[in-house]
Amino acid sequence: MLVRLILGLLMTVAGLAVAGKRVAFLYRLIKAGQPDTKRSDDLGARVFAQAREVFGQRKLLKWSVPGLAHFFTFWGFVILASVYLEAYGALFDEKFAIPWIGHWAVLGFLQDFIAVAVAVSLGVFTVIRIRQAPERKDRASRFYGSHTGGAWLILVMIFNVVWTMFFFRGASSASGNFPYDSGAYVSLGVGNLLEPLGHPTTEVLETVGLLLHIAVMLVFLSIVLYSKHLHIFVAPINVSAKRLPDALGPLLPMESAGKPIDFEDPGEDDTFGRGKIGDFTWKGMLDFTTCTECGRCQSQCPAWNTGKPLSPKLVIMNLRDNLFEEAPYILAGTEHEGARPLVGPEDDGGVIDPDVLWSCTTCGACVEQCPVDIEHVDHIVDMRRYQVMIESAFPTELGGLFKNLETKGNPWGQNNSERLAWTKDLGFDVPVFDGELAEDVEYVYWVGCAGAFDDQARKTVRATAELLHIAGVRYVVLGKEESCTGDPARRAGNEFLFQMMAQQTAETLNAVFEGREPRLRKIVTTCPHCLNTLSREYPQLDGHYEVVHHTQLLNRLVRGGQLTPVKPVEDGPRVTYHDPCYLGRHNKVYTPPRELVGATGAELAEMPRHADRALCCGAGGARMWMEEQIGKRINLERVDEAIATDAETIVTGCPFCRVMLTDGLVQRQSEQKAENVDVRDVAQLLLERVKATDTSAPKA
């Protein structure tokens, strides 16, 4: 008894010393990151996120089989902590039992059950890793680029925890020291097998099993702290510090030393974006150390899926590697000449290749699927900000975009005098803001640059305006008073230009809504990018509005009886709906567009990737204005998915998506494919069915 106590305590002291040294290093390193002051607000929501995502494993369970296996494995770590409490108690008292509950058969059963479930889960993980092995599936494997050797080691170590547990508990049962008379069915069964060996032998086996069980845990602890499986400990912290609310929504404003940058009078030491690894906030550094290398982000990334070099997983892994490379200098607060450039060609030692950085569409599929709430998009845009504003290093096409935004107030470079061209020949007068907002006006209809200047998008805004007219909704458009919200500039990394445009637009809207409280400052728009920027990002500039997407408003009007679509007598057309990223993942609007499709009587055929797993059209992140020269075009990939549904019409709710899908469809039709398919907005589909029987004057 004394020998095992001494050995057990010596092992524990040594193991905790090794682990403690690593924990202290990681704490100091992450703490050395730049301040981030917005990670402790809304404590209630953060506690709920912890319960739902860590203990409930919400995101992991979206992937049913591996998710369920991980669910049992996670709870194995939680519940089997009680077994280790019993094990350490047994070092001091061979008949130790947890006070009050230590003899409950229910606890013994739960311990054995979860251990068996973990063992079965290990088998599931083994099959998944063999089937998904990069050696077999190359880039199609979500484990491509991951440290697979370390993953196998962890599976072995978890198995060691399970078998040593049953060995120790079985020997304890055979020796008469086990605290459970029933319930712990596996441990008692092993005890029955060992009992014929005799009491002296089983006592020795109990000591051996106990020390093995403790030793495995201590070795496992060090392996976890020094490997990618660090997420076991830091993931709960990362989830607690996640962005709120639960949608990607706004990009974070640029800060330096934890304070917003004053672009009109920046400080000498202000940091514009991330130019080196030490520029990231502590939350960014926590993100890098939290990555599990599971590859869920990679499997959903539209760039990676179309042969481009961007893998969100590899971006985070490379940043993590660079963080540890630079750790001695970060902790010392010094710089050195041998530091690798954060963004630069891979052949020149760059951590992130420019082709990787500029392939991102900011669709947010990576963030949506990440089970530990890593914020890939924020980090990518922050690096873009430094490249644009400090290095002036960006794709040449963006130069034209920035110039058009700065001089013309829109990405197309069109004259503002043409902003009302879409209203011609509508058959009714579109009300235009005349300097004062009437009391009975419910909405400002934000047309957006695409709706004003793109021929395809004009069809959407015309259809929406006509539906609002039929429903009797009181609205006004701003016409020449409108300007770009600045979304393309911000996603491209030109935060200075965004701030300039957004300040101007916010001032315009604040003047329009002067005297109205925020909840009555209602805006409707057909552009999800405008929706996201006006509703989620303008509050950063003291612009507070209630913004809805046109599909949300139209759906309310249909449900309220103000619009009455008449379903066709025969079966309706077969359509497939493409989820715009900035409407879906960024703002969690999935149902209203689908309900509108159903209201028209159309048959909805979903693509394999839809809703929160929808594939991007390729236009986001200012990619709309950049050439796509690597791999397959993302819009072609999406159009091919849509064509495969045998739908007659591809419907969407975003002008950028419509352009990309139309371009992709035109290319496929030039190849004699899907010749009778067209692309339309949900509003057009609805208007057709409303006008089928009713083209009368507005309803009262």
Whole-number pLDDT of residue 540: 92
Residue 243 lies in a domain: no
∠ CA(379), CA(383), CA(389), 5° rounding? 140
End residue of a domain, out of 391, 406, 438: 391
On whether both 331 and 364 belong to a single domain, the answer is yes
Last residue of a domain, which of 366, 391, 416?
391
Rounded to whole angstroms, what are the CA distances from 515 to 20, 438, 445, 520, 525?
Answer: 59, 11, 19, 10, 22
pLDDT in tens, 552-580: 999 999 999 999 999 887 888 999 999 99
- Taking only the tens place, the pLDDT of each residue in 238-268 is 999 998 877 787 998 888 877 888 888 888 8
Task: Kindly report the CATH number assigned to the domain that includes residue 276.
Answer: 1.10.1060
Domain of residue 658: give its range. 574-690
Q: How confident is the model at residue 271 (pLDDT cuts 50, 70, 90)?
A: confident
* pTM, to two decimals: 0.94
> Same structural domain for residues 521 and 669?
no
Q: What is the mean pLDDT of residues 302-321?
A: 97
Residues 277, 339 within the same domain? yes
Specify whether the CB–CB gap between 509 and 477 falls below 8 A: no
Tell me, yes or no, whether 205 and 104 share the same domain.
yes
- Taken in order 68, 71, 73, 79, is the CA torsion positive or negative? negative
Cα separation, 375 vs 357, whole angstroms? 15
**Are 534 and 478 a contacting pair, CB within 8 Å?**
no
Q: CA–CA separation, 605 vs 650, rounded Å?
A: 10
Q: What per-residue confidence (pLDDT) applies to 505?
A: 96
Do 660 and 635 meet the contact criterion of CB atoms below 8 Å apart?
yes
Question: Are 554 and 639 found together in one domain?
Answer: no
483 assigned to some structural domain: yes
Task: Look at the chain and report how many structural domains it folds into.
Answer: 4
Condensed to tens digits (0 to 9), the pLDDT of residues 56-86 reads 998 898 888 999 999 999 999 999 999 999 9
| Residue 358 shares a structural domain with residue 458 | no
- CB-count burial class (<10 Å; 0-12, 13-18, 19+) for 357: buried
* Two tokens, residue 66: 């591996």
Return the pLDDT at 696.
44
In a domain, 462, yes or no: yes
Same domain, 185 and 264: no
617 and 681 co-located in one domain: yes
CA nearest neighbour of 363 among 583, 620, 578, 587: 620
Q: Max CA-CA distance within the chain?
A: 99
Domain finish residue from 391, 423, 438: 391
Look at residue 700 and tell me whether its pLDDT is greater than 50.
no
Same domain, 146 and 181: yes
User: Residue 113 falls within a domain, yes or no?
Assistant: yes
Mark whether 386 and 422 lie in a shared domain: no
Same domain, 278 and 355: yes
Q: Do 387 and 401 belong to one domain?
A: no
User: Is 656 part of any domain?
Assistant: yes
